[in-house]
A and B are shown apart, each in its own frame.
Chain A
Amino acid sequence: QVQLVQSGPEMRKPGASVKVSCKASGNTFSNYDITWVRQAPGQGLEWMGWISGSSGNTNYAQKFEGRFTMTTDTSTSTSYMELRSLRSDDTAIYYCAKGSIVGAARPWGQGTLVTVSS
């Protein structure tokens, strides 16, 4: 039974960067594709990107290209997302999920609240 456990809440000032981790337990992590999705307060879901567990290939939402990076460390079964040049509208809960959103993304991590405020 795969479980995804994310790192704790973060607070950053505008212009800073944040890195969120997503640690998996269960089967061979190298076979896991990981998707990142965010949800601003009171808003809907927004797809950010996807990273292949087997090849490391990535697909980023155009909106985040250039300031968003996904990586995977198979030795620790952990996937990371880093968002740079943070703005107040980046305040959101960031979720990781195993698989592709349009495939069958499950399970999901518990979410990490990132607050951007001066």
Chain B
Amino acid sequence: QSILTQPPSVSGTPGQRVTISCSGSSSNIGINVVTWYQQFPGTAPRLLIYSNNRRPSEVPDRFSGSKSGTSASLAISGLQSEDEADYYCAAWDDSLSGPVFGGGTRLTVL
């Protein structure tokens, strides 16, 4: 059972906009920034979004992050087949004195 809660799977069709939610609590998302990682099968995770909504320069602007209260969301617009991957949210947890991950969401492009 992960501290941060994500839907196990989401799906969309090419060109569509999809969102992945990440629900936490007042000890993590409620008071700390959220980071998102993307992982393709058989490869290492890569940084996608940091500080809630900032993108590394190499990440397409189709990816965006937001946070409100104790929840965060990752939005992917103009969905492409190459976006099919697992997505993980993470945040520092003050109660645990360490970072916690969501369980991950598998994105399928239909």
Contact = CB atoms under 8 A, between A and B. Distances in A.
Q: Give the contact-size bracket for chain A.
A: 20 to 34
A82 interface: no
A44 B101 contact: yes
A62 B101 CA distance: 15
B35 A47 contact: no
Q: Is the interface of A mostly helix, strand, loop or mixed?
A: loop
Interface in A85-114: 95, 97, 100-111
A48 to B, nearest CB: 9
Contact of B45 (A45, A102, A104): A45
A109 B2 CA distance: 24
Contacts of A101: 35, 90, 99, 101
Contact of B37 (A45, A59, A103, A109): A45
Given A105-B47, A108-B44, A100 B99 contact: yes
Interface in B48-104: 50-51, 56, 88, 90-92, 96-104
B46 A106 contact: yes
Contacts, number: 60
A46 interface: yes
Contacts of B108: none
Nearest to A37: B45
A61 B47 contact: no
A55 B88 CA distance: 29
B32 interface: yes
A102 B37 contact: no
A103 to B, nearest CB: 7
The 7 closest A-B pairs by CB, nearest first: A108-B44, A104-B50, A106-B47, A101-B99, A44-B104, A102-B92, A45-B101
